[in-house]
Amino acid sequence: MELENPYAPPKAELHESPRQPERTDGWRDGSMLVVPKGAELPDRCLKCNAPAQGYRFVRNLSWLNPLWFILFLMSPLIYIIVYLIIRKRGRVAVGLCQRHRKLRGQAIAIGWLTMLAGVAGILSPVAFPTWNPTIPVFGGIVLLLAGVVGGIVGSQVLIPKRINKEFIWLDKVSPELLAEYPAWPA
């Protein structure tokens, strides 16, 4: 005779519903994606929602309220000190497809080449002392600044619009990827 164990789990078959569980790795807040600090998003490209094929783009982000930029107009040195003290920081890992990795690499390369052309323009009066230095030096300064700004802007994948103690708001996210996330509960 077999004794019944009162502590044994039930033997009834359970049928789970076929519905998908709601995503909890992020939320949609208008056109921005809200993720917890340290989040690792699925293997989809943040820019176009294509498969990322296992590539992870990991960044430590920092953000400061844009109103603090008024301090920069008064004193750049004080702004830098304040920025380093009160900025909000967070880390996030996202997928990036082959096409967007290539575009980012091209932007970085073009930025560096433009900066080098600017340095060559600035140094051209040294190599060619008979030339009028005004135009090459001015053009070199413009190219140098354009290379820096273009390289930074063109290579940006993660654009934080806000960071608080727990969450990061990311801008310029694919609308298709954004549509997969539930609305921000706040």
CB 181 within 8 A of CB 26: yes
Give 56's strand partners.
95
Share of the chain above pLDDT 90, in %: 60
Pairing of strands 56-63, 32-36: unpaired
What are the tens digits of pLDDT across the range 42-96? 889 999 999 999 899 899 999 999 899 899 899 999 999 999 999 999 999 999 9
Q: List, edge to edge, every strand of the sheet that includes 32-36.
A: 27-29, 32-36, 167-171, 159-163
Torsion of CA 186, 183, 20, 10, to 10 degrees: 10
User: Which residues, in sequence order, are CB contacts of 12 under 8 Å at separation 6+?
Assistant: none
Give 63's strand partners.
88
What are the tens digits of pLDDT across the range 80-92? 999 999 999 999 9
CB 56 within 8 A of CB 95: yes
Q: List, edge to edge, every strand of the sheet that includes 88-95.
A: 39-45, 88-95, 56-63
How many other C-beta atoms lie within 10 A of the C-beta of residue 71?
Answer: 16
Phi, psi torsion values for 16, nearest 5 degrees:
-85, 150
Residue 3, pLDDT score: 76
Residue 19, pLDDT score: 44
What are the tens digits of pLDDT across the range 133-171? 888 889 999 999 999 999 999 999 889 999 999 999 999
pLDDT classification of 17: cutoffs 50, 70, 90: very low
User: Which residues, in sequence order, are CB contacts of 68 under 8 Å at separation 6+?
Assistant: 79, 82, 83, 86
